[in-house]
Amino acid sequence: MEQIDPRHLLINIAKILKRLKIPYMVTGGMAVLIWGRPRFTADIDIVIELQSEKIDDLGKALLELGRAGYVDKEAMRQAFKRQDEFNFIDGETGVKIDFWVLKEKDPFDISRLKKKVARIISGERVFFTSPEDLILIKLRWYKETQSSRHLEDIESILKISGKKLDKQYLRQWAKKLKVSEILSKAVRQREEI
């Protein structure tokens, strides 16, 4: 059986978003691969700034990736209205893409989209959330879920990208997001290692 490399799918999705002029950034486990240690990820998380007039075009383009792909256009419309999530399942690989619609009134979402960083993946330019914003969103998710996976990801990002981080930006947003205490604890634990 052939190994599934989700990078190929990620590149195809990035090309679609570029063609449709939909601003985006990859976050979640795929971004941890860029800013932290490699780890298994079963899906791809992408934040998109979606406009209502592009919903049908995006749905059509996703379905053109393969015969057995699946996306629910009504779920896309509802996600747009709620500024929430919808999924696309690639029929060729079975990999799920979670599209998170940018929360237009959330200053943090707006800030992190502006701060996205381009990286070259297999010769193609793909936009990722910055390492600082990845830490911050992981802190936010940890606060909500208490999943240790988020803390492990934060620790790996601090270890791999720590010297390059904009610590002032990180502290400012941690305070605004009410995750300063968790950040301080993660940084202290990293320094003890």
Average pLDDT, the chain: 89
* Helix or strand holding residue 119 (H, E): strand 117-121
pLDDT of residue 191: 63
pLDDT of residue 42: 74
pLDDT of residue 57: 95
pLDDT of residue 179: 94
pTM: 0.89
Structure confidence by residue, pLDDT tens digits, 72-116: 999 999 999 999 999 999 988 888 999 999 988 889 999 999 999
pLDDT of residue 53: 94
63: exposed, middle or buried (Cβ count in 10 Å: 0-12, 13-18, 19+)? middle
Structure confidence by residue, pLDDT tens digits, 37-62: 877 777 899 999 999 999 999 999 99
Question: 154: which 2 tokens?
Answer: 């934060």
